[in-house]
Amino acid sequence: MGDTRQEREDEAQDTAERLLTTLERMLRLDATNVTETLNAAAHLVGEATSAEKVDLFLYHPENHTLQVAGLSDTPMSKREVELGLDRLAIADGGRLVEVFQTGEIYATGHADRDPAMLRGITEELGVRSLLAAVLEVGGDRRGVLQAASALEDAFSERDRRFFEAATRWVGLVVHRAELVEQLTISAAEEARRLTADELITVLAHDLGNLVTPLSLRLQLLRRNIARKGNKSDSKEIEAMLANIARLQGLIMNLLDTARLEHGLFAIEPEMCDLTALVKTTAMLLSTPRTAIDVRGEPHVIVQADPARLRQVIENLLQNALQHTRPGTSISVSVDTERPAETDSESASATDWATLVVQDHGPGIPPAVLPRLFEPYVKGHRSLGIGLGLYVSHRIVEAHGGTLTADSVPGQGTRFTVRLPLLTDT
């Protein structure tokens, strides 16, 4: 039973990481040339599914054919072109044509036993396992994405779920590539942002589906612990809590990014104790391998949205935990900063609450540092897709404060949050 729980947890975490990694790499594709973008997208899907061949067929209405517009760089793909199987007439039928016409996904581990498969695919190419899904671009059905292998039962149910999500992403990337070819450089950048928003919505939905079964499993484990007091279950529940917290934090960042881009982001400020909020969050995120050392003034009061402020603190601490070497600690300080009253202007200047998070990791490359708070920009060896710092920066700005970063390669990074201090009037 324990192995089954662990396998389910590992599967969910592996799926989440595969979704994140593939999405991140798709977002970085240089979409200045449609053909190159399609080939690169096919290659990424092939790597993620361990397929021997991935093809992106587009429909050409002038001659009613599905023609390969992008394919992975593999021996099976090259053999497909040599055999002329990179062009399929709609009139000839077959499973790929059926997928294009019906919009339903097709999956098999025994293609040679399917009488509807084109014989050239099974006999000449030797395909045994095949996944195929309809490709929609800009809301229109435009083609089919196909992954194939010469092995029987090469693709699992998990591969099939991933492939469905990846097909939607490829459709969005194709849409972006076509827009880039039609627009100027400045307009192309805007198209990239629009496509990224769509990808964010898809990813948030897919990750949300992962959180639900983990939460259900967590509830069951809680009941087991209460009934049996099983220590092994206690350790497992802690691991699952950490995974759920990470996924939920990522989903929140994804959704907030979309809200920020569309001007729908809002805060609900109230009086809150920054020091208490930092200590509580640090206690939840501390690990046996990396301690979070919090010091500073006992009560630093600010006018802020506590949920949003906690989100900033969590993002900064999670970022520090990713980069701090095991066995070292993260230093956090909460203090006040009051201007010296040397004249009438300084007497009326703003008093600040300051939060400083210092890690002892590899630091941020100088070329990345100026763009660190832009969306999809990541530091050295960072997990995720580069949204946490962007969202945090915007949240702090919405509170009338600032978020800055200082870093020396090899010596770590220091993030400083400054918020208006709530003082007695």
Sheet (strand 412-420) strand order: 292-296, 330-337, 352-358, 412-420, 402-408
**Alpha helix positions (H), 66-151:** 75-82, 95-102, 119
Q: Give the H/E segment covering residue 14.
A: helix 2-27
Nearest CA among 303, 310, 280 for reference residue 392: 310
pLDDT at residue 425 greater than cutoff 60? no
Judged by DSSP in three states, 229 sits in coil
Between 110-119, 158-167, 180-189, 216-225, the lowest mean confidence (pLDDT) is in 180-189
Q: For residue 301, what pLDDT is reported?
A: 95
The pLDDT, as a whole number, for residue 344 is: 45
Give the integer Cα–Cα distance in Å for 169 and 263. 25
- Please give the helix or strand (H or E) that residue 135 lies within, else none: strand 129-137
Summary mean pLDDT of the chain: 80
> Could you write out the DSSP letters of every residue in 142-185?
EEEEEEEESSTT-S-HHHHHHHHHHHHHHHHHHHHHHHHHHS-H
* Nearest one of 280, 208, 206, 213 to 240, comparing CA atoms: 213
Reported confidence tier of residue 192, pLDDT bands at 50, 70, 90: low
Pair of tokens at residue 117: 């498969």
Structural domains in the chain, CATH included, are 31-182 (3.30.450.40), 270-341+348-420 (3.30.565.10)
Question: Which pLDDT does position 255 carry in this prediction?
Answer: 67
Dmax (CA) of the chain: 89
pLDDT category of residue 143 using cuts at 50, 70 and 90: very high
* pLDDT (0 to 100) of residue 380: 53
Locate all alpha helices (DSSP H) within 324-413, ordered by sequence.
Answer: 344-347, 388-398
pLDDT band, residue 276 (cuts 50/70/90): very high
* DSSP bridge partners of 331: 293, 358
The pTM (predicted TM-score) of the whole model is 0.48
Q: Are 421 and 351 in contact (CB under 8 A)?
A: yes
pLDDT value of residue 1: 47
Q: What mean pLDDT comes out for the span 122-146?
A: 92
* Predicted confidence (pLDDT) at residue 50 exceeds the cutoff of 80: no
Residue type, 283: M
